[in-house]
């Protein structure tokens, strides 16, 4: 795979160790298949020891995660709410367009990463988690709520849409990125429609969820009441059994009972005489 002319070529001796490792991984990924890149290759390209690499990252995947966070930071610093007055879809469109601009120097490297993930389910799952985390902050930058169950659906849906857009972007060599922008607009419109339907369903089922919670609380309360009632019944039965045992003991040993009563009577007399 040819190296993109726009790929960052930071000098091996510049930047922090972590930054150099991240840049080296992306530089190597632009030149060869991602699965063929060894940690020792990255360390050599970054001019760091394996010990320094280990202190910085536990794996290639962790380096990719650091790259994703680096892009997140760049987008968040540059965006700064410039489109706050626009509708939600337009705000998110501008945020993600800015993300594409930040990723442009790494296009070939990301295509290599994408091809690697398409053949490795575990890699795809890990990459999806990182993408979801990034999309969380992209939604926040666009002032779109990403909390709760509905927020989780938004995040996963947006992550899927994002990788579809990247699939178009990898092949779009036009300077204006017309095909990519059209794909981004189309995917966001589709996602917006899906979210609106989910929100409609959520509003319609909200009274039913409230009723279910009330029923559940009622059932739980009745269970607690029955539990306390059983406790009281158990205590009553224990008292009853104790009284019954004493009664049977008195019937089986009448002389012992009389003896005890006689002893008590004599002690009473002795006390009176004293």
pLDDT of residue 233: 54
Give me the pLDDT at residue 150, please.
86
Strand runs labelled E in 86-162? none
Q: Looking at the predicted structure, is the pLDDT value of residue 192 above 90?
A: no
- The answer to whether residues 75 and 138 touch, using CB atoms and an 8 Å cutoff, is yes
pTM: 0.68
Residues 6+ apart with CB under 8 A from 2: 108
Q: How much is the pLDDT for 161?
A: 95
Contact 42, 53 (CB under 8 A): yes
| pLDDT tens digit sequence for 76-90 | 997 766 667 788 899
* Confidence class for position 242, pLDDT limits 50, 70, 90: low
Q: For position 11, what pLDDT does the model report?
A: 40
Give residue-wise pLDDT tens across range 116-170: 999 999 999 999 999 999 999 999 999 998 898 888 989 999 999 999 999 999 9
> Which position has the token pair 């005489």?
273
81-111 per-residue burial string, b: 16 or more CB within 10 A, e: under 16: eebeeeeeeebbbbbbbbbbeebebbbbbbb
Cα→Cα distances 172→26, 107, 165, 183, Å: 20, 11, 10, 11
Q: DSSP 3-state assignment of 59?
A: coil
């Amino acid at each position: 795979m040819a190296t993109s002319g726009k790929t960052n070529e930071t000098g091996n001796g510049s930047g922090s160790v972590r930054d150099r490792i991240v840049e080296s991984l992306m530089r190597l990924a632009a030149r060869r298949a991602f699965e063929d890149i060894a940690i020792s290759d990255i360390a050599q390209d970054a001019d760091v020891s394996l010990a320094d690499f280990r202190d910085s990252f536990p794996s290639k995947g962790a380096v990719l995660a650091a790259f994703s966070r680096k892009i997140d930071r760049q987008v968040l610093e540059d965006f700064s709410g410039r489109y706050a007055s626009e509708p939600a879809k337009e705000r998110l469109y501008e945020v993600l367009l800015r993300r594409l601009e930040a990723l442009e120097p790494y296009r070939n490297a990301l295509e290599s990463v994408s091809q690697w993930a398409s053949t490795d389910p575990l890699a795809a799952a890990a990459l999806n988690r990182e993408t979801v985390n990034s999309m969380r902050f992209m939604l926040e930058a666009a002032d779109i709520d990403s909390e709760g169950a509905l927020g989780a659906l938004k995040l996963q849906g947006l992550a899927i849409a994002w990788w579809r857009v990247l699939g178009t972007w990898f092949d779009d060599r036009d300077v204006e990125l017309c095909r990519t922008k059209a794909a981004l607009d189309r995917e966001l419109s589709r996602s917006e429609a899906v979210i609106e339907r989910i929100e409609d369903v959520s509003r319609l089922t909200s009274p039913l969820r409230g009723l279910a919670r009330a029923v559940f609380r009622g059932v739980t309360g009745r269970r607690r009441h029955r539990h306390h009632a059983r406790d009281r019944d158990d205590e009553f039965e224990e008292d009853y059994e104790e009284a019954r045992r004493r009664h049977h003991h008195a019937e089986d040993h009448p002389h012992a009972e009389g003896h005890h009563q006689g002893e008590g009577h004599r002690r009473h007399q002795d006390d009176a005489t004293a």
